[in-house]
Amino acid sequence: MGNLSGTLKKFMGNKNTVTIVGVLICILVLYFGYSYRVNKAVKMIRVPYARDTIQPKTKITSEMIDYMEIPESFEGNYYTYGDINSLIGKYSSYNTIIPKGSLFYDELVINEDKIPDAVFYNVKKGYVVDNYKVGMDSTYANSIMPDSLIDIYVKYNNNGKVSYGKFFENVSVLAVKDGSGANVFESTEESRTPAYMFLSLPKTQYYAFKLLQYARDEFSDFGIEIVIVPNTQEYTSNNEGAVRVSSNDILAFVEDKITKIDSQDEEFNKLKEDMANQKLEDENQDDTTDDNSDTNNDSNDNING
């Protein structure tokens, strides 16, 4: 053991030997470092890129994307093939385009709720947005979320008696924001108090709803109260146009408190026609349902007989 230790000590004490060992270590470090860099440069990964130029504030769909392979060493923060599900459905940034052939860099892609006034990009043609004031009570302890439907009820004094009924149904909620304009539901790390609910209504229904609000504020003697009620129907593309005015009496009450201007008289008359037509459709549907029920009952009687 002593001989081995002495030999090793003598070997390492030789300057030539130390130099050779040092050179060998340097060569090995350079070799493995170079091999790592080369392998990384040669290894290819699959990434999505823009098939055509994508304009600002555009929702990204699978039809806008093609794929190519690039070296893994390609610098930048960009989406890869493995990130594709998180890319689709996002939006191009509001202040830049994504050029044709460009990779999808992180700074070029944002979530919908990060687009300034993104709420207005989901409004159908012919519809108007109303930013209705709400609070914790009127939103059922902050339980009414975007992309849901609500009904709007009205309470008012009618010749010394109280009237209460449904005025609108199937009104879509676009967003719920706090007093600073931040989306109430976008953060799970802080509690936000609802202050405004953004509603989407056809233009004439919007007039009726807004004039109801002004009548409430102007004529306190009538004790007008507007009550939001969650609708159990889920908001989908199939029912997004189904906003209905449900009460002729409430509409007449509103009309009695206002003076129409421009083409509002025309539009209110058209609204009444639509309400009458809808009532006929509902009655016909009820008759059809009753007939089917009677037919099923007769069939069951025959079977039992």
The residue-averaged pLDDT of 235-253 equals: 69
Q: What are phi and psi of 303, to 5 degrees?
A: -65, -45
Whether 110 maps to a domain, the answer reads yes
The residue-averaged pLDDT of 42-62 equals: 89
pTM over 0.85: no
Q: What per-residue confidence (pLDDT) applies to 234? A: 55
Q: Cα torsion for 29, 30, 33, 36, to the nearest 10°?
A: -120
- Pick from 114, 142, 174: which residue ends a domain? 114
| Separation of alpha carbons 166 and 151, rounded Å | 7
Whether 246 maps to a domain, the answer reads yes
Q: What per-residue confidence (pLDDT) applies to 119? A: 77
- Pick from 114, 139, 163: which residue ends a domain? 114
Q: Strand 109-110 relative to strand 91-92: parallel, antiparallel, unpaired?
A: antiparallel
Helix axes 203-218, 264-304, angle to 10 degrees: 110
Residue 233 has pLDDT above 80, yes or no: no
Task: Give the pLDDT band (50/70/90) at residue 178.
Answer: very high
Whether 302 maps to a domain, the answer reads no
Residue 276 has pLDDT above 80, yes or no: yes
Do 141 and 212 have their domain in common?
Answer: yes
Burial 52-83 (b: 16+ CB within 10 A, else e): eebeebbebeeebbeeeeeeeeeeeebbbeee
Do 48 and 74 have their domain in common?
Answer: yes
Q: What per-residue confidence (pLDDT) applies to 277? A: 80
Q: Are 149 and 170 in contact (CB under 8 A)?
A: yes
Whole-number mean pLDDT of the chain? 81
Whether 19 maps to a domain, the answer reads no
Task: Please spell the DSSP secondary structure of 250-289, one letter per residue.
Answer: HHHHHHHT----TTHHHHHHHHHHHHHHHHHHHHHHHHHH
Do 77 and 200 have their domain in common?
Answer: no
Residue 297 has pLDDT above 60, yes or no: no
> How many folded domains does the chain comprise?
2
- Pick from 114, 144, 159: which residue ends a domain? 114
The residue-averaged pLDDT of 40-58 equals: 85
Q: What per-residue confidence (pLDDT) applies to 47? A: 92
More confident residue, 41 or 110: 110
Give the residue from 211, 199, 200, 218 showing the smallest Cα distance to 265. Answer: 211
Task: Give the pLDDT band (50/70/90) at residue 241.
Answer: very low
Residue 153 has pLDDT above 60, yes or no: yes
How confident is the model over 77-123, as pLDDT tens digits?
888 888 888 899 999 987 788 999 999 999 899 988 787 777 787 78
Q: What per-residue confidence (pLDDT) applies to 135? A: 95
| Separation of alpha carbons 188 and 92, rounded Å | 24
Q: What are phi and psi of 269, to 5 degrees?
A: -65, -40
Q: What are phi and psi of 163, to 5 degrees?
A: -115, 140
Do 83 and 162 have their domain in common?
Answer: no
Do 261 and 230 have their domain in common?
Answer: yes
Q: Are 121 and 57 in contact (CB under 8 A)?
A: yes
Across 18-22, 59-63, 301-305, which has the greatest mean pLDDT?
59-63
Q: Cα torsion for 105, 106, 112, 116, to the nearest 10°?
A: -100
Whether 93 maps to a domain, the answer reads yes
Q: What per-residue confidence (pLDDT) applies to 278? A: 78
